[in-house]
Structure 1
Amino acid sequence: MAGARLSNEEIYLIQKTARTVAKTNNVGSFSYLARGDYYAQSAQNNVPFQEIRDTSKVYLIGDGLFEEHPVLGYMIQNAFYKKDIEVSVLNTNKSQKLNHKFESQAEIGSFYHFFKAANHYILSNGLENALFIKDRIDGFDDYKKALLAEDYALLIQKAGICCLEKVESFVKEYLHEMNNILVFSEAIVSSETAQEIHNLALISGKLGKTANGLISLKEKNNSQAIFDMGAQPQLLTGQLDINSDEAKEKIKQIWNTEAPTSINNLNDLMKDGKIKNAFIFGEDPVGTTLSDISEGSCMDKMGFTMVQDYFMTATAKKADLVMPASMPIETGGSYTNTQRYIQEFEAHFTPKVAHSNHKQMLAILEKFDFKGLNDLDDIKAEMIKFFPQP
């Protein structure tokens, strides 16, 4: 299990070790355990932050964005005052933190049902962008059939809003505006909600256009790398399907081994006590993860557990073996931000531990005859080979 605060290089080595040494695809992150599949692709079509100043309106979904993402919050507020863009905040019923900043507020009980109702209204009234859908979207007819089979009035009721007019006025404004951006955080909306927001941008024909579409914000500094580096059972580095011919060929060519094929639900394995050996790098599920795993009972069901971390966390205290970790400022490496840009950082101090994180991982790989990598540059050069080539 790989933490979302680790570097790209560390996460890459963790999933490589799982697939080459342990011969398993049982690699993941507690940050995304049992939270749905859509987060893997939620940031793929993010609007570049610099285009915020060119849009007409920004919809903030939830009001905790400025606290968790102050840089983006500053850019939106700056555009609000200097470029005179509109900002509308969609809140949960009990939250009014941004009343002093923006006048436009809407109280919503359930984001998921609100956006599902909005999409229902668009499709039932033929307001979708048919030309855009025809050229870019697969599976639209199946989605439309399934959505229109649902009870629109019940969706409105579950959305926790007063009346039909609230959804309909939102849809009409959203479709009428030339440019607008929907901004949400994974900490606030579920994977299913994020997908419905994405569907709204798709069927309206706004996704991918300049100053239009979505900005999906990750929870931690390197959450995007959990998917891009392949720390998921079904994904290889570069977000390749682990069982695709391309993934198998690259594993054979780059790692000189065969790809494991079995894919398991990690959450189920943990709950059923089927994990015999657990290796947890840079995560504290017992102390911090918002999941039933955090209760600690699943840790007790595991066999041998090893934890590598900077501190003696609640999870480390339950482990059979604790490996000391070097701090990022002692190691260097790179992160992938929510815009999917890789940002490098350098080491400024000598690690207090005998071997830095990546050196520990390289030593394990060498014990099993997977050699050839000596430093961060070597690791980076290898992991880039898995990325899609232009």
Structure 2
Amino acid sequence: MFWRVAFSIAASQLTHRRRQTVVSVLGVALGVGFFIGVSSIMSGSEKDFVDRLVNSAPHITVKDEFRDPAKQPVFIRFPKAAVKLENVKPREYLRGIKNYGEKVDELSQRPGYVAEAALTGQAIVRYANKDMSASLIGIDPEKEKLLTRVAEDMREGRLERLRTASDGIVIGSGMSTRLSLKLGDLASVVSPAGQVKRMKVVGIFHTGNLMLDYGQIYMLLKDAQVLLDKPFIANQLRIKVPDPNAAEGIAAALEARWGYRSESWQEVNRDILGLFIIRNAIMYSIVSAIMIVASFGIFNIISTVVLEKRRDIAILMSMGFREADIQYIFLMQGFIVGVLGMLMGWAIGWGILAILGQVEFTVPGMADRQGFVLDKSFQQWAIGGVFSLVAAIGAAWIPARKASQVHPVDIIRGAV
């Protein structure tokens, strides 16, 4: 078969210039290896961050506020007129989501949806002559287990104890340490309205996030309503949908229907998600530059072979080899270098991932020691392999085309 003959000729020409071949293969291998290492870190951290966003918080939060202020009647009456309105006093209205119970029931009836009403606010937790400010949230414990990961993050006690214990409260491990609060202790919780309640610690959670561990507390919705002096009021609807990627469209539909500001997890974290796109673009640009540099080595070795083997090429063509056959032989050389570089690059990438997997470091704002979150999926290895083959064959194409344009009669006669 012709491909065997082409492979034999291509391999013999590459082994004739072993040093250049080894350098070219190493260039491709390093590009592939570093691509696997860098892309695994980038992709792994991105997937871990998105997973934390999706699983640790509701997909959609409906708040008791409006995205845009209501238009004044004069601007509605004269939309194109040059009108100036001064000394407008904002209309006061009762905060809270109207008929939140009906809205929760309606959403809960949709297949795959989880919805709860919540009341958020600020409070001070006081124990043993020490005070700490905290963000409180009144919840339904059964639904909160499905909306967030707080039940999984419990170190002591259980989230469900909020329902069975009288005036129960769940605090973070940081607050527990700073205030010396233990499971079963009674702490005073003071609201901005001046309400004071003695509440029993029925659970302690630990997320590893200092902001949550030191500043978040949970209690029953009815207890939060009493403490904040907002009876029968909820200022948030917290929703989980079957497909997190569809949360943005669902949030827009809910806002258009009810008027309340509805924020999806994508909207809340849009700036951060946008940074991932920029970061990936930078990563692929750097790796592409490495592969382009490596391809110059392939271009150099094959161009040199073409110059040195012009008479051999002419003899092959006089023996019946067509232009396409000659081009195929030199493209085969690029392919061989690309495959060898890909295999060696995979080995280097595996070694890099093994080393990175052992690295640990401390991130400011996180209570636990962290490490690299690596994405070891086949996709990273496949993209690296495609990079190597495209770079190698692309670098071989110009000298291969030049080799196929040799005129055997002129070479043999010594005209050139």
TM-score, normalised via structure 2 length: 0.21
Q: Answer 1 or 2: higher relative contact order, Cα 8 Å, separation at least 6.
A: 2
Counting helix residues as a fraction of each chain, which structure ranks higher? Answer: 2
Rg larger for: 2
TM-score, normalised via structure 1 length: 0.22
